[in-house]
Structure 1
């Protein structure tokens, strides 16, 4: 299992549109991707689960990935979060 810490930097945090982009991206990989924030965790493939994390701007989350595409999935999810979910602000 691979693990990485990353900080949410987009203005609105992990809101509905961002969670949908993340879940769509996660579905492309043969890997189980989990986001952990505090004592909560959610599958990256679950929009509702991601919203339940309540991860706002400046919050640090832990990403874990396991499976055949674990490294590629972790890199892609990290890149999406670093790119502020491709939002303009």
Structure 2
């Protein structure tokens, strides 16, 4: 695994990140002392990814959703009587 000082890592960050994304991890060091290890992250399996609209047809949002509890909230902040 290669080690780069901070200056070199900043200068070559795009190239280093591309390499890390392909599985070639590297270490960033300051004054010769390792600080961090940069590795690729793995995406969650397809079945665990969140999907927009996955509850469509299963729930109903009330028409007054944006006004629900308005009186109580106003009272909490001293706006009501």
TM-score bracket for this pair, using the shorter chain length: under 0.3
More relative contact order, 1 or 2 (CA 8 Å, 6+ apart): 1
TM-score, normalised with respect to structure 1: 0.26
| TM-score, length basis structure 2 | 0.27
Q: Select the structure of larger CA radius of gyration.
A: 2
